[in-house]
Amino acid sequence: ETGVTQSPTHLIKTRGQQVTLRCSSQSGHNTVSWYQQALGQGPQFIFQYYREEENGRGNFPPRFSGLQFPNYSSELNVNALELDDSALYLCASTAPTGIAYGYTFGSGTRLTVV
């Protein structure tokens, strides 16, 4: 299996709700990162997982959390949704050789909070 697959593609939630976004990485890619891309801006790093452990985090509050599973799938969970959480959420994975290899991105999940 090749590529990075994200689901769902679009989602509408109400402020205060919780959401789970899913990602399936390429086989052998044991590093996965999540990014938030607000409209008209560049993606912002949320956090990274390596071998099921978080090993890096950007400037996002604890209500953003994640999980990585042994089968190269992962989740991004956001609690207590706020209107500003409306964005495109991108999952990216890379091979064990690391960042110089380049990340493969999924097509993203468009989250709208109303």
- Enumerate binding residues for other proteins (CB under 8 A): 6, 33, 35, 40-45, 48, 55-56, 58, 90, 92, 99-100, 102-108
Smaller CB distance to other proteins: residue 32 or 78? 32
Smallest gap from Cβ 99 to other proteins, in A, equals: 4
Smallest gap from Cβ 16 to other proteins, in A, equals: 28
Smallest gap from Cβ 45 to other proteins, in A, equals: 4
Spatial contact of 55 and 8, defined as CB atoms under 8 Å apart: no
Spatial contact of 35 and 96, defined as CB atoms under 8 Å apart: no
Smaller CB distance to other proteins: residue 66 or 106? 106
Q: Which SS3 state, helix, strand or coil, does residue 76 take?
A: strand
Rounded Cα distance between 56 and 83, Å, is 25
Secondary structure element (H or E) that encloses residue 87, with its range: strand 87-94
Smaller CB distance to other proteins: residue 35 or 72? 35
Q: Which SS3 state, helix, strand or coil, does residue 99 take?
A: helix
